[in-house]
């Protein structure tokens, strides 16, 4: 029998097996109920991912129609091919003891560190091969902090990775990883409930300190969202870590290196979570959350008052100066945000909007006060875009995977997790 005959037979058999299943078991309410559960879980799980980053946007007209296309990022120059991660456009090499290293290979330089599969791409485009593809992370100086999961044990770790890609220490964490705007300090929670800050991974206890302890809410572990101050959290500097309770209900708090640990929004004013904080004293606060959306506000710690509130937008990230806040639709979920709109922090006016017509914005981070990097995922792959406050836009790197929306982006912006 030919293959075609076999295929026809399989088609008939599958059709007959499925025949009679004419039920429509789920109502809209049932679907919405499951959706609400998923959304709550995701919010708790990824709260740390929506952190010290913010977006500047670009007029829609500039961006529309510029999908990923089918072109991958250009390969780097030919190099000595000792290791070649399949997901990387570059051909990175790792220096070997006693052997003169080949010239460092390069990938697409975007001005900051990022991950492309299992390759760590430095700001100048130098590609460093890694043993695994981390799902998130941050860079402190010349050290990569890669976040990985052990799916067998459901435990989570930060790998401390040296500039040559070698893993040194691994730190178990029970939260997301928050990083300051200037990438000088990170915060995370260890299994014992200590809220740790770290600014020098190589310095052992001299480069890290717990600024709060015993931070658990029932079965939930708190999630650090933003770190301000620095450049250390040691006694000589002042730093503060804004964190959410993790249960989606308890109000957010801020722990300081001076030993205080207080509510971000004191009194009876509603606040269930923070999404970012700036050195300027502004905090983006989620006031309420319902299945249909959320109400949010820009809170000024100095005056202890909301500058404004809205139920039409979710507030993502403040630029370092605190003059512009990146926002998105009030209804958060799905594989990413449908658009990112830039709002003037003082006037609340939308100044620009980035709406990738063919994808969603997964993460974004301020490169500086005028430039936003955005990681975009569409049905074909992921790409990183640079957007200027002047309306300019540029796709700085892309990767076609064909993996669809349910595939994790190949690229990772190192803005925490």
Partner 1 sequence: MSARTAARDAEFTAYLQARQARLLRTAYLLTGDKHQAEDVLQTSLAKLYLAWDKVRDRDSVDAYVRRIMVNENNSLWRRGWRKREFTTEVLPEAPVTDTYDEGLGAALWSVVQSLPPKARAVVVLRYYEQLTEAETADLLGISVGTVKSQCSRAIATMRDRFPADLDPREQEEER
153 binds partner 1 (CB under 8 A): no
Query: Cβ distance 296 to 271 under 8 Å?
Result: no
CA proximity to 102, closest of 94, 114, 112, 110 = 94
Tokens of 310: 């809205």
Site residue total, partner 1 (CB under 8 A): 47
Closest separation in Å from C-beta 332 to partner 1:
9
Q: Is 363 in the site for partner 1 (CB under 8 A)?
A: no
Say whether residue 16 binds partner 1 (CB under 8 A): yes
**What does DSSP assign to residue 102?**
P
Asked if 3 interacts with partner 1 (CB under 8 A), we say yes
Spatial separation of the C-alpha atoms in residues 356 and 338, rounded to whole Å: 7
Binding status of residue 69 toward partner 1 by CB under 8 A: no
* Number of other residues whose CB lies within 10 A of the CB of residue 257: 21
Report the C-alpha gap between 364 and 239 in whole angstroms: 23
Of the candidates 143, 105, 108, the residue with the CA atom closest to the CA atom of residue 123: 108
String marking each residue 106-145 x if it binds partner 1 according to CB under 8 A: ----------------------------------------
Report, in Å, the least distance between residue 327 CB and partner 1.
16
Q: Is 101 in the site for partner 1 (CB under 8 A)?
A: no
Pick from 196, 295, 360, 413: which binds partner 1 (CB under 8 A)?
360
By the rule CB under 8 A, 331 interacts with partner 1 = yes
In this chain, which stretch among 11-19, 124-132, 171-179, 249-257 interacts with partner 1, using CB under 8 A? 11-19
Token digits for 275? Answer: 């999404």
- Whether the upstream peptide bond of residue 343 has omega within 30° of 0, thus cis, is no
- Cβ(303)–Cβ(293) under 8 Å? no
If one asks whether residue 338 binds partner 1 (CB under 8 A), the answer comes out as yes
User: Residue 21 interacts with partner 1 (CB under 8 A)?
Assistant: yes
Q: What H or E segment, with its residue span, contains residue 316?
A: strand 313-318
Torsion over CA of 152, 157, 162 and 164, rounded to 10 degrees?
20
User: In the range 277-306, which residues lie near partner 1 by CB under 8 A?
Assistant: 292
Overall size of the chain counted in residues: 417
Residue linked to tokens 């030993």: 259
Binding mask 22-41 for partner 1 (x = CB under 8 A): xxxxxxx-xxx-xx-xxx--
Among 77, 335, 362, 366, contact with partner 1 (rule: CB under 8 A): 335
Instruction: Please report, as ranges, the residues that interact with partner 1 according to CB under 8 A.
Output: 1, 3, 5-7, 9-11, 13-18, 21-28, 30-32, 34-35, 37-39, 151, 292, 329, 331, 333-335, 338, 360, 379, 401-407
């Amino acid at each position: 029998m030919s293959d075609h005959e076999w295929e026809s037979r399989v088609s008939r058999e599958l059709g007959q097996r499925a025949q009679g299943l004419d039920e429509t078991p789920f109502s809209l309410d049932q679907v919405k109920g499951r959706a609400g559960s998923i959304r709550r879980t995701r919010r708790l799980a990824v709260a740390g991912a929506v952190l010290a980053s913010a977006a500047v946007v670009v007029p829609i007209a500039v961006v529309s129609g510029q999908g990923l296309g089918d072109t991958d990022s250009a390969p780097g120059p030919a190099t000595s091919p000792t290791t070649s991660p399949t997901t990387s456009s570059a051909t990175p090499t790792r220096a070997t003891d006693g052997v003169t290293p080949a010239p460092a290979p390069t990938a697409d330089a975007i001005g900051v560190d990022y991950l492309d599969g299992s390759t760590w791409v430095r700001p100048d485009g130098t590609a460093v091969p890694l043993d695994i593809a981390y799902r998130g992370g941050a860079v402190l100086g010349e050290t990569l902090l890669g976040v990985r999961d052990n799916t067998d044990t459901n435990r989570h770790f930060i790998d401390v990775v040296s500039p040559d890609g070698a893993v040194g220490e691994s730190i178990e964490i029970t939260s997301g990883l928050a990083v300051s705007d200037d990438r000088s300090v990170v915060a995370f929670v260890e299994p014992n409930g200590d809220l740790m800050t770290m600014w020098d991974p190589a310095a052992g206890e001299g480069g890290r300190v717990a600024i709060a302890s015993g931070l658990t809410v029932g079965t939930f572990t708190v999630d650090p969202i933003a770190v301000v101050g620095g450049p250390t959290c040691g006694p000589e500097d002042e730093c503060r870590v804004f964190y959410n309770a993790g249960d989606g209900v308890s109000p957010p708090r801020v722990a300081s290196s001076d030993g205080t640990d207080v509510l971000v929004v004191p009194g009876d004013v509603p606040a269930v979570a923070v999404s970012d904080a700036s050195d300027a004293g502004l905090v983006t606060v989620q006031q309420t959350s319902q299945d249909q959306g959320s109400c949010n506000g820009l809170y000024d710690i100095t005056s202890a008052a909301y500058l404004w509130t809205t139920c039409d937008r979710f507030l993502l990230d403040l630029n370092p100066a605190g003059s512009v806040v990146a926002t998105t639709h009030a209804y958060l979920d799905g594989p990413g945000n449908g658009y990112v709109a830039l709002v003037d922090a003082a006037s609340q006016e939308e100044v620009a909007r980035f709406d990738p017509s063919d994808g969603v914005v997964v993460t974004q981070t301020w490169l500086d006060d005028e430039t936003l990097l955005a990681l975009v995922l569409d049905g074909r792959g992921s790409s990183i875009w640079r957007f200027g406050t002047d309306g300019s836009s540029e796709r700085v790197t892309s990767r076609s995977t064909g993996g669809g929306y349910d595939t994790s982006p190949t690229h990772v912006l190192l803005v925490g997790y």
